[in-house]
Chain A
Amino acid sequence: NAGVTQTPKFRVLKTGQSMTLLCAQDMNHEYMYWYRQDPGMGLRLIHYSVGEGTTAKGEVPDGYNVSRLKKQNFLLGLESAAPSQTSVYFCASTSTVVGEKLFFGSGTQLSVL
C-alpha cells in the first residue's frame, strides 16, 4: 500500500514548455486534490475531483488543466509554463470511508526558468 505517489519529484522547465504531473493513489479514494505551495505560504487549491470523470476549479486554476480518467489517477497539466508557476505541487486524496482525512503525496518541486 503505497498511499499517494507523485511523479516526478523534481522538474525544471523553460517558459512555454508543457508538462504533466501525475498523482496516483491506491486507497480507492473518491476525492483528489491538487495544491501549490509557494515559499512561506500556505497551500492553495488548484483543482479537485469528486470522482472519476469529474473535475472542478479551486482557488488558483488559471494556467492549469486536470483530468481524472481513472479513479486512482489525477493528472495536472501545464500547457505553457510560466515563471509564476514555479512552486511545490502537492496532491492529496481522501474518502468518506476514512472520515475525509487527507492523505498527501511527497510533492513535486517545479522550477520554470
Chain B
Amino acid sequence: DAKTTQPPSMDCAEGRAANLPCNHSTISGNEYVYWYRQIHSQGPQYIIHGLKNNETNEMASLIITEDRKSSTLILPHATLRDTAVYYCIARRINTGTASKLTFGTGTRLQVTL
C-alpha cells in the first residue's frame, strides 16, 4: 500500500468547512483512498473512500486530484463533534487477500467555537 502523508494538526471554526489534505504521491492505479476518523479514545470510524472520482456521502466529500497524487477530505460544516484524528490510507482491494493495512499518525482536527 502506498505511503500517505498528512499534516499533524489543523484547526477549524465551527460551521466552517474543514479541508483535510493527504499526499499519496506513490499511489498505484488500483489503490483506493480511504478516510477514517477516531474520536477521543473510541475505535476508528469509516468516513469515505474513492478511486479517482470525487465522492460524497452524508458525512463528507472526498476530492481526488486528477493525477491521484493527493486528496482532500471535506467536512462541509464542521461541528465540535467533528474534533478527532483523521486518517488517510491508500490500499488495494478486491485482491483476494487482505493487505497489512497500517495506519499512520493522521491529522488531529480541532474544531473551535
How many chain B residues touch A (Cβ–Cβ < 8 Å)?
A: 22
Contact of A50 with B97 at beta-carbon distance under 8 Å, contacts A101-B34, A106-B42, A107-B43 already known: yes
CB of A41 within 8 A of chain B? yes
Task: Give the total number of A-B pairs whose CB atoms are below 8 A apart.
Answer: 63
Please, which residue of chain B has its CB at the minimum distance from the CB of A100?
Answer: B93
CB of A113 within 8 A of chain B? no
Instruction: With a 10 A CB-CB cut-off, give which of B87, B97, B98, B101 has the most chain A CB atoms.
Output: B98
Please, which residue of chain B has its CB at the minimum distance from the CB of A44?
Answer: B102
Range class of the A interface residue count: 20 to 34
Residues of A within 8 A of B45 (CB): 104
Residues of A within 8 A of B104 (CB): 42
Q: How far is the CB of A4 from chain B (nearest CB, A)?
A: 8
28 A-B pairs with CB atoms under 8 Å apart are A33-B101, A35-B103, A41-B105, A42-B104, A43-B44, A43-B102, A43-B103, A44-B102, A45-B100, A49-B98, A56-B100, A58-B100, A59-B100, A59-B102, A88-B41, A92-B43, A92-B44, A94-B98, A96-B93, A100-B91, A100-B93, A100-B94, A102-B46, A103-B46, A104-B43, A104-B44, A105-B43, A107-B42
Query: Would you list the 7 A-B pairs with minimal beta carbon distance, nearest first?
Result: A104-B43, A31-B98, A43-B103, A42-B105, A100-B93, A101-B46, A50-B98
Which residue numbers of A lie inside 8 Å of B, CB to CB? 4, 30-31, 33, 35, 41-45, 48-50, 56, 58-59, 88, 90, 92, 94, 96, 99-107
